[in-house]
Amino acid sequence: MSVPSEVHKNVILLPQTNQLIGLYSIIRDQSTKRGDFVFYSDRIIRLLVEEGLNQLPVEETIIKCHGSHEYKGAKFLGKICGVSIVRAGESMEMGLRDCCRSVRIGKILIQRDEETALPKLFYEKLPEDISERYVFLLDPMLATGGSAMMAVEVLLRRGVKMNRIFFLNLLAAPEGIEHFQSKYPDIKIITGGIDEKLDEHKYIVPGLGDFGDRYYCI
């Protein structure tokens, strides 16, 4: 069993198996058609969500089994909430729903302000009781980490505890991870791949292009 590795504190990288590299080769390839891009991205997203769920605590419980045995098992606590950063983050909601059917999902819209070139919060809609929940922050790419950090600010303002936030992404740049972690050391980053660097335009190298554009076909 290949177990995801904690590459450094609070950064969990999915095991870089041939299978996974094969999947990434497909979604990185610019000639991949949208149908395949969506399908294979979804497969990776499901792996990320499974890994995220695995980080959550469970409650020990005794189960009465078929055939009248007892199994010392575990019960899910179910206090989860997904928060997607609009638009690209919404592509990961489906994967989360595949694993947690009735999960609540909040949304945050952050856009780059044309005048200041800084990210600006436009809209947020989160469940009332989010402060009591474990939060999966969904955004497929961690480049500079600017919008993710703004989203975290929103969550912290709503009373979510830092160690209850998990940031799920498909691809991260080392600069972004460092920047993010320097400010929020207790938030776990769960990623499927860590790339080489950011280029001068703050794009991930080699990256996979604009995830939202490729997923939503614009």
Partner 1 sequence: MTNHTSTPSPAPSSLSVKIPKPRRFSRIAPDNDSTSSFFNSSDQLTDSPFSESHPLQATTSTSALLFGNENGISNLHIETTNSHSNVHSQLQTPLHGASYIPPWTEPYIIGIAGNSGSGKTSIAQKIVQELNQPWTVLLSFDNFYNPLTEDERKLAFSNNFDFDTPESLDLNLVVETVLSLKKGHKTTIPVYSFEHHNRTDKTITIYGANVIIIEGIYTLYDPRLLDIMDLKIYVDTDLDICLARRLTRDILYRGRDLSGCLQQWEKFVKPNAVKYVNPTMNNADLIIPRGLDNVIAINLMIKHIEKQLILKSSQHLKYLQTLDIKIRDLNEYNVKILPINNQTKGINSILFNEDTERSDFIFYFDRISTIIIEEGLHFINDFEPITVTAAKSYQYQGLKLVDDIVAISIIRSGDCFMNSIKKTFPEISIGKLLIQSDSKTGEPQLHYDSIPQDIQQNKIMLFDSQIISGAASIMAIQVLLDHDCKPKDIILCCYLSTELGLRRILNVFPEVNIVIGKLSNINDNADGSKWYNPENCKDTDWQFRNRFIDSLYFGTD
Contact 82, 104 (CB under 8 A): yes
Is residue 157 a contact point for partner 1 (CB under 8 A)?
no
What is the C-alpha separation between 45 and 52, in angstroms, rounded? 10
Smallest separation, CB 41 to partner 1 (Å): 14
Cα dist. 200→99, 204, 211 in Å?
38, 10, 19
Q: Is 200 in the site for partner 1 (CB under 8 A)?
A: no
Q: Which two tokens stand for residue 217?
A: 């076909």
Site map (CB under 8 A) of partner 1, residues 18-37, x = contact: xx-xx-xx--xxxx------
- 209 touching partner 1, by CB under 8 A: yes
And the tokens for 158? Answer: 């709503």
Gap between the Cα atoms of 24 and 1, Å rounded: 20
Q: Quick check: 1 binds partner 1 (CB under 8 A)?
A: yes
Q: Is 112 one of the catalytic residues?
A: yes
Cα separation of the two ends of the chain:
39
Q: 3-class DSSP state for residue 55?
A: coil
- Could you tell me which residues come within 8 angstroms of residue 4 by beta carbon, excluding any fewer than 6 positions away? 12, 13, 14, 15, 51
Catalytic residue list contains 144: no
Tell whether residue 216 is a contact of partner 1 (CB under 8 A).
no
Choose between 24 and 167: whose C-beta lies nearer to partner 1.
24
User: Is residue 174 involved in binding partner 1 (CB under 8 A)?
Assistant: no
- Point out the catalytic residue in the list 112, 129, 186, 199: 112
Q: Which residues bind partner 1 (CB under 8 A)?
A: 1-3, 17-19, 21-22, 24-25, 28-31, 39, 43, 46-47, 50, 53-58, 61, 63-67, 69-76, 98-99, 101, 199, 203-210
